[in-house]
C-alpha cells in the first residue's frame, strides 16, 4: 500500500529530526523568554528569532531573511514589548489614508508620558508628513527611539518586482538618526537583492540571519488538471471544513469557480482587485473567522494576510513564475502543521498566460521584460513536467538554494512516488500522432488537442464520427495507453516543439487553439529523433499529510486516477476562452 510506505517513512524518528533544544543565553535571554511566553503566549522560538531579537536589543543593525510564515513580526514586536509589562504591546498605525485628526492624536501621544511602544508607519506617509518626521526627531533627542524596523525590505530594491518608490527615501534614516539601530526583514531576496538592501539602507556591520527557504510542513504536488469535480472531491475528502485558497488567473474565473464550489456544497467566496473595499474586507474577515472556508482568488489576495491555519493552497491555473508560486504556497501552514500545496496542471494553460504577458503593456514593458516573463512561465511548465526531481529541490533552486532531497522526507509527490518512475521509448506513438496532425493539416482541417487525443485513443464521440475521423488510419492507435500517458505524450510533443498550438480566428469573436506541426516535427517523422517518456504507471495520491503525532489519521486517498471525466465536466475548459485579466 503506497500510503503505508510513505507514512512509515515519515514516522521514522530519525527522519523527523526534532528541533534542537533551545539554549537561550545572553544578557537579555530571561527577559526575552518571559515576553515570548507571557506577551505572545508562545512556547519556543522559531529558527533565528531569538538570535535576531538578541542582536537588535544589543543595539546592532540586523538583517533577517526568513521565508513567508517564518515569523518575522515577532523579531521586532518582541523587542518593542520588552519596555512594557508583560501582556501589553501598545501599537499605533499611520498610513497615507489615516485622517489628519486621528494622525494628530497619535502624534500627540508620542509627546506625552503614555507613549505607544510601537509605531507602524508606511514609507509613503513618512515621506509626505513633516509632522511625523519632527515627532521622530523629538523622540530621538529624548533618546526614546530604540530602533527602526523595515519590514518587506526588498521593496527598496529596484532588482525586485515589488519596488516601491517611497522605500527609496528610507536611506535618510541612517543620516538623520545615525546611532539608531536598523532592522530590515524580508522573505524575497536573492543574493543581489540582499546586497542591494544592505547597501541602500546603509547598514553598519549588520548581524545577518538567513535561513533555508524550505517549508518542511508543506506537501507539494503537481497533478493533471481535469475537472472541478475532481478537485472538489479531493477537498471534501482531505480538507473537510478546513481553510484554503484557490488561485486562478482571471477575475471572471474566480467568480465562476467560487459559484461552482458553492453549488457543490463548499463554503467558497471569490476575491480579486476589482472588488469594493468593503467586500474585500468582509470576505477576508469571514475567511479569517471560518464562516467561509475557501477563497478563490487572483494573486491580489495574500499581501498582508495572516491566517495561521490555512490547510491547502491550490493553483488551478498555471502560476506566472516560480517566485510567485512559492510566495502563494507559503500562505499555507503558517502554524507549522501539515498543509497541502497542489498545482493542477494542464499544458493548455500555458498559451493564455503567454498571451496575457504579451497583451499587458505599461510604461515598464520592454521586449526584454516580455521575454523574461515568458521564460519565467516556461520555468513553471518545466517544474510541472519534471516528475523525477524532488519538488522542493526544484523550487528552492529558484532561490539559489541547493536542497538535498533527503530533507524532503517524501513530502512531495515526486519523492513520494520515487521508484515508480519508468522511462520507455514512445517514438512509434509519437510518429503516429505527428502523422495524424500532418494529414489533418494537409486536409486543411482545424482540430484541437483534445480532438486529436480522442482520435489517437479511438474515443467513440460524436465530434469524431461527424468528421469521419474514426476512419483515419491512426484512429485508436493509442487505445491501449492509459489516459495519463496519452496526455503526457501530447504535452511532451508540444513542449519539444514537435507540435504547436496555433491561435486561429474562427468567427468574429473567438480565437481557438488548433493543433499543428511544430518546427521539430520533421526530426521525429524522419526517424532522426527518438521520444523517451518518463512516467509513473501508477499515479500516486495528489495530496499528502505528514504525521505530526503518532496515531493521527491516515490521509484520504486521491480520487481514482484514471477515471474518464464525463463530457459535461469538460465545460471546465470552456472558460479558457474568457478574456485574460491581470488581477
Please identify, using beta-carbon distances, which residue of 99 and 404 lies nearer to Zn ion. Answer: 404
**Least spacing, CB of residue 40 vs ligand ADP, in Å:** 8
Please identify, using beta-carbon distances, which residue of 310 and 415 lies nearer to Zn ion. Answer: 415
CB under 5 to 8 A by kind: which of ligand ADP, Mg ion, Zn ion, none does 71 bind? Answer: ligand ADP
Q: Which helix (H) or strand (E) holds 515?
A: strand 511-517
Q: Supply the DSSP symbol for 215.
A: -
- Exposed, middle or buried: residue 228 (CB in 10 Å: 0-12, 13-18, 19+)? buried
> Which positions ≥6 away from 379 have C-beta within 8 Å?
321, 322, 398
How far apart CA 160 and CA 197 sit, in angstroms, is 11
Footprint of ligand ADP on 58-97 (CB under 6 A): 66, 68-74
CB under 5 to 8 A by kind: which of ligand ADP, Mg ion, Zn ion, none does 334 bind? Answer: ligand ADP
**Least spacing, CB of residue 71 vs Mg ion, in Å:** 8
**Least spacing, CB of residue 106 vs Mg ion, in Å:** 22
Please identify, using beta-carbon distances, which residue of 382 and 479 lies nearer to Zn ion. Answer: 382
Radius of gyration, CA atoms only, the chain: 27
Footprint of ligand ADP on 217-236 (CB under 6 A): none
Cell numbers for 199: 547597501
Q: Supply the DSSP symbol for 475.
A: T
In degrees, rounded to 5, the angle at the alpha carbon of residue 17 between the alpha carbons of residues 11 and 19 is 130
- Residue length, the chain? 583
Please identify, using beta-carbon distances, which residue of 60 and 392 lies nearer to Zn ion. Answer: 392
Backbone phi and psi for residue 270, each to the nearest 5 degrees, phi listed first: -95, 160
User: If we measure between CA atoms, which residue out of 248, 243, 261, 247 comes closest to residue 311?
Assistant: 243
**Three-state SS at 127:** helix
By CB under 6 A, is residue 49 in contact with ligand ADP?
yes
**Least spacing, CB of residue 312 vs ligand ADP, in Å:** 17
Please identify, using beta-carbon distances, which residue of 49 and 351 lies nearer to ligand ADP. Answer: 49
User: Which residue do the cell numbers 508606511 mark?
Assistant: 122
**Least spacing, CB of residue 311 vs Mg ion, in Å:** 20
Stretch that binds ligand ADP, among 45-53, 93-101, 203-211, 415-423 (CB under 6 A): 45-53
User: If we measure between CA atoms, which residue out of 583, 69, 45 comes closest to residue 308?
Assistant: 69
Q: Give the relative orientation of helices 483-495 and 427-442 as an angle to the nearest 10 degrees.
A: 70
Strands (E), 14-112: 62-65, 91-94
Q: Supply the DSSP symbol for 412.
A: B
**Least spacing, CB of residue 308 vs ligand ADP, in Å:** 4
Please identify, using beta-carbon distances, which residue of 10 and 150 lies nearer to Mg ion. Answer: 150
From the list 91, 308, 422, 504, which residue makes contact with ligand ADP (rule: CB under 6 A)?
308
The contact set with Zn ion (CB under 5 A) reads 390, 392, 408, 412, 415
From the list 334, 392, 536, 541, which residue makes contact with ligand ADP (rule: CB under 6 A)?
334
CB under 5 to 8 A by kind: which of ligand ADP, Mg ion, Zn ion, none does 412 bind? Answer: Zn ion
Footprint of ligand ADP on 98-157 (CB under 6 A): none
How far apart CA 399 and CA 413 sit, in angstroms, is 21
Please identify, using beta-carbon distances, which residue of 334 and 535 lies nearer to ligand ADP. Answer: 334
Contact 188, 327 (CB under 8 A): yes
Please identify, using beta-carbon distances, which residue of 187 and 531 lies nearer to ligand ADP. Answer: 187
Instruction: Write the interaction track for ligand ADP spanning residues 277-306; mark x where CB under 6 A is met and - where it is not.
Output: -----------------------------x
Beta strand pairing status for 243-247 and 148-150?
A: unpaired
Please identify, using beta-carbon distances, which residue of 79 and 555 lies nearer to Mg ion. Answer: 79
How far apart CA 326 and CA 398 sit, in angstroms, is 9
**Least spacing, CB of residue 149 vs ligand ADP, in Å:** 12
**Least spacing, CB of residue 288 vs Mg ion, in Å:** 16
Footprint of ligand ADP on 172-201 (CB under 6 A): 187
Residue 171 to residues 56, 156, 178, Cα–Cα distance (Å): 19, 9, 11
**Least spacing, CB of residue 306 vs ligand ADP, in Å:** 5
**Least spacing, CB of residue 412 vs Zn ion, in Å:** 3
**Least spacing, CB of residue 539 vs Zn ion, in Å:** 17
Stretch that binds ligand ADP, among 40-48, 192-200, 412-420, 430-438 (CB under 6 A): 40-48
How far apart CA 338 and CA 311 sit, in angstroms, is 7
How far apart CA 149 and CA 56 sit, in angstroms, is 10
By CB under 6 A, is residue 45 in contact with ligand ADP?
yes
Cell numbers for 569: 465536466
Please identify, using beta-carbon distances, which residue of 152 and 487 lies nearer to Mg ion. Answer: 152
Cell numbers for 122: 508606511
Stretch that binds ligand ADP, among 38-46, 408-416, 441-449, 485-493 (CB under 6 A): 38-46
Buried b (16+ CB within 10 A) or exposed e, 372-389: ebeebbebbbebbeebee
**Least spacing, CB of residue 363 vs ligand ADP, in Å:** 31
The contact set with Mg ion (CB under 5 A) reads 72
Please identify, using beta-carbon distances, which residue of 160 and 543 lies nearer to Zn ion. Answer: 543
* Site of interaction with ligand ADP (CB under 6 A): 42, 45-46, 49, 66, 68-74, 187, 306, 308, 334
Amino acid at each position: 500500500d503506497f500510503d503505508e510506505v510513505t507514512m512509515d517513512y515519515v514516522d521514522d524518528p530519525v527522519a523527523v529530526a526534532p528541533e534542537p533544544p533551545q539554549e537561550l543565553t545572553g544578557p537579555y535571554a530571561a527577559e526575552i523568554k518571559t515576553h515570548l511566553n507571557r506577551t505572545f503566549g508562545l512556547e519556543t522560538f522559531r529558527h533565528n528569532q531569538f538570535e535576531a531579537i538578541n542582536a537588535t536589543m544589543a543595539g546592532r543593525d540586523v538583517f533577517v531573511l526568513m521565508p513567508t510564515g517564518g515569523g518575522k513580526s515577532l523579531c521586532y514586536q518582541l523587542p518593542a514589548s520588552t519596555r512594557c509589562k508583560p501582556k501589553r504591546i501598545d501599537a499605533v498605525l499611520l498610513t497615507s489614508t489615516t485622517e489628519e485628526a486621528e494622525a494628530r492624536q497619535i502624534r500627540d501621544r508620542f509627546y506625552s508620558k503614555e507613549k505607544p511602544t510601537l509605531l507602524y508607519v508606511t514609507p509613503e506617509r513618512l515621506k509626505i508628513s513633516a509632522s511625523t518626521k519632527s515627532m521622530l526627531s523629538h523622540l530621538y533627542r529624548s533618546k526614546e527611539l530604540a530602533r527602526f524596523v523595515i519590514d518587506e525590505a526588498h521593496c527598496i530594491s529596484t532588482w525586485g518586482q515589488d519596488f516601491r518608490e517611497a522605500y527609496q527615501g528610507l536611506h535618510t534614516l541612517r543620516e538623520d538618526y545615525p546611532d539608531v539601530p536598523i532592522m530590515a526583514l524580508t522573505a524575497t531576496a536573492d543574493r543581489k537583492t540582499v546586497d542591494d538592501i544592505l547597501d541602500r539602507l546603509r547598514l553598519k556591520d549588520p548581524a545577518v540571519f538567513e535561513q533555508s527557504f524550505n517549508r518542511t510542513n508543506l506537501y507539494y504536488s503537481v497533478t493533471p488538471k481535469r475537472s472541478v469535480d475532481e478537485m472538489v472531491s479531493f477537498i471534501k475528502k482531505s480538507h473537510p471544513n478546513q481553510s484554503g485558497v484557490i488561485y486562478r488567473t482571471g477575475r471572471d474565473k474566480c467568480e465562476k469557480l467560487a459559484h461552482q464550489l458553492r453549488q457543490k456544497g463548499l463554503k467558497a467566496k471569490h476575491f480579486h482587485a476589482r472588488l469594493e473595499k468593503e467586500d474585500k474586507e468582509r470576505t477576508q474577515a469571514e475567511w479569517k473567522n471560518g464562516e467561509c472556508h475557501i477563497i478563490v482568488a487572483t494573486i491580489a489576495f495574500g499581501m498582508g494576510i495572516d491566517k495561521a491555519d490555512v490547510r491547502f493552497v491550490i493553483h488551478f491555473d498555471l502560476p506566472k513564475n516560480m517566485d510567485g508560486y512559492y510566495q502563494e504556497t507559503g500562505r499555507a501552514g503558517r502554524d507549522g502543521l501539515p498543509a497541502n500545496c497542489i498545482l493542477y496542471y494542464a499544458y493548455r494553460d500555458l498559451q493564455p498566460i503567454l498571451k496575457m504577458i504579451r497583451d499587458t503593456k505599461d510604461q515598464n514593458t520592454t521586449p526584454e521584460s516580455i521575454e523574461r516573463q515568458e521564460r519565467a512561465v516556461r520555468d513553471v511548465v518545466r517544474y510541472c513536467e519534471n516528475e523525477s526531481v524532488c519538488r522542493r529541490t526544484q523550487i528552492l533552486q529558484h532561490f539559489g538554494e541547493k536542497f538535498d532531497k533527503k530533507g524532503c522526507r517524501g513530502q512531495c509527490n515526486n519523492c513520494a512516488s520515487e521508484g515508480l518512475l519508468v522511462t520507455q521509448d514512445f517514438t512509434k506513438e509519437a510518429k503516429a500522432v505527428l502523422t495524424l496532425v500532418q494529414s489533418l493539416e494537409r486536409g486543411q482541417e482545424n482540430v484541437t488537442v483534445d480532438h486529436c487525443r480522442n482520435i489517437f485513443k479511438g474515443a467513440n464521440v460524436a465530434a469524431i464520427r461527424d468528421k469521419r475521423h474514426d476512419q483515419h488510419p491512426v484512429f485508436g492507435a493509442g487505445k491501449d495507453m492509459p489516459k495519463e500517458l496519452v496526455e503526457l505524450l501530447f504535452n511532451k510533443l508540444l513542449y519539444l516543439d514537435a507540435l504547436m498550438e496555433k491561435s486561429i480566428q474562427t468567427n468574429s469573436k473567438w480565437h481557438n487553439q488548433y493543433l499543428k506541426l511544430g518546427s521539430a516535427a520533421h526530426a521525429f517523422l524522419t526517424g532522426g529523433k527518438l521520444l523517451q517518456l518518463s512516467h509513473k504507471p501508477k499515479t500516486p495520491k495528489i495530496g499528502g499529510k505528514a504525521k505530526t503525532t503518532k496515531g493521527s489519521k491516515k490521509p484520504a486517498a486521491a480520487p481514482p486516477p484514471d477515471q474518464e471525466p464525463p463530457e459535461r465536466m469538460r465545460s471546465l475548459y470552456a472558460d479558457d476562452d474568457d478574456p485574460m485579466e491581470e488581477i
